[in-house]
Structure 1
């Protein structure tokens, strides 16, 4: 936060820090924690942890924006509300001396050499500083009263600001000040400031126009510089210089003005009078705009509004001269949602998925004319939206989507908002969106042309892709397909094809487990091998203990040797471990048929 708050900071900078900090907290949606609008929940409340985290975050921001010495004095405070109240009691001084100083500066402020904008900015700064030092009272009635006393106080303070602003303007704006002060009610200060922001030549023309009507307004005034009567020091020619065309020796202002006006006429003909009239018309238009921006009441200014007519523009005067009502650029890729259209209209055949030729079909336009329909077909906007029986009219420069026909042909709903239109299906899923631009709802994602879509087609010779596209066509038959070249199709291994050829489903996973060794023995035979061992063995018998996962392998030449090895294994277990095998689990093959032995 800049500037940093410390003890040496001026009152104005402290107030700026307070405003800046409040804006920053409101932007982060955290001001409700500081002004105690969001009450701290109980510790047992489920939202207490989230509130606690936001509270500490605000405290850390405040500690970062103040001086380290001030931060040390408030770091022990646990809640952001207590931190803010402590800083407010410490640095928020509303003493009478400061109020007296501000009032003196406000009442003594003059425009002087400043421009009107700079003068208004300075006045506005002092007014806001006074409002923060002496804020508006707050109604403490319980229940709150319905009177408008606070609004009346605020209105009177605004009126005082307008009067002080006009009082500080230079004497060049004396006539304009008198015109504003007769308005009832008075306009706001910023409106008065805009009315003062006019060219100097317009002000001079207004003064000369009023001078012809009311005579010399400075009659009786005495200049403190030259000692002559009839003007003040602000308009003393001996101090500020004589105007162009001044002839010395004439003491009468009327004669001097007549000679100057005659010289102006001789030099430029009637251009001076026309310039004065133009300047006066500019001033009148500014005052008319000011009267229209004020309060909308029957306020009248002390200025006579003189209309002007130009014979050259008499034929077009008072007529609307705009050439285009809608400035939106419309082209073939523009799709407009229209609630007044009865059918969809497409300007190009490239958007159609399919179409047919029609004869004698016409569409009536609002102008009374009619256009011929050449084709009728379907257009896909996207995967979810399809325009049925759309009309093809080549003379149109853009495309129209009929709202009524779209709702009739599809199970969609349209939600019109101020800046967009949402197209949703019956489940609420968004299928399209249109943005409002210059009064038209334009589809954001228009369909692409069919020829553009065809350009994205890619030739593929991958045997695996075509095997899957054709529904897992037999791999050994794929070479019979014409116009498709394959590479290494014979070596393709498809897991889906292997699983689809299984005669039975896989066994479910077993959830049982034995507690001791040799409670359960799994037995299975694998073979025959294509290549036999050195001893001529082509099979092997695997015996797996379910508890320890210990495995025994026995090589065999034939499956008939299985019974012999099982009996030897049973005797070995009894001899070596002193226990008996409780359960043998096999796949019920005939080689394991040993009913007498197992019983």
Structure 2
């Protein structure tokens, strides 16, 4: 479309690109704004008003977006589309439009998963409070609720940080889509697993030095009396026993490794299965398998398993379901 034809379109009242000299973005096309419980009447009035302005095609998609390669055509389409959008926004109550905008703009943006979901859920509840829906037996309400749930799942997933892109893609492949609460549970569990995997793990040499430094008096007394130094059969280190082993029972609060060590120190994440963590110190062996809301712990040392359960319960409040 050349510039001369663009001028003809602008002057043709039958063209969807025609804008009357009285049209402006601040116009109110309907007298009663959308409040949430009057959608049917508002929708009908808005459809009639937009059709009268020959702009409803920008809403239902019948007026296709013009090529960006032709600047004049693209500018015409964008101008008319923005005009129609402003007319619609002007006909929505301020409280409802603010909630819609907040939901559309909200992203995780480095927030914790719980904080992100709580904010999003609060906006959903606020938006829902603007309307009331009557029950029916025709099945329409069930379809509506299902679509609303799917929209919530999409909003939640699309707002996640890019680090969850892979998991987002996996969830979107599930048919039918799980409920938004289930999706939150799955992603929240992934966040916790990443937190566990990110716990710094002190080296065996560093742990040995810490133990020796904490029990220097015992070592010196043993040397003076020519007694065999204490030995731990759990970590296979000298100068302490299993009963006082920091690697097994955790570091004391005043220890420099208190927050980073403890019962989870020494666990290695499997490269073949990222849900599997294993630890082997001497003969004792412990394995931890995590999947969504379930944790399976096994091994040949009940003391180590008990310490691990206690550690996890303090961090995440787990429920012990007993032996399989």
Q: Does the TM-score normalized on the shorter chain lie above 0.5? A: no
- How high is the TM-score relative to the length of structure 2? 0.35
Compare relative contact order (CA 8 Å, sep 6+) and give the higher one, 1 or 2: 2
Q: Which has the greater radius of gyration?
A: 1
TM-score (norm 1): 0.20
Structure richer in strand, relative to its length: 1
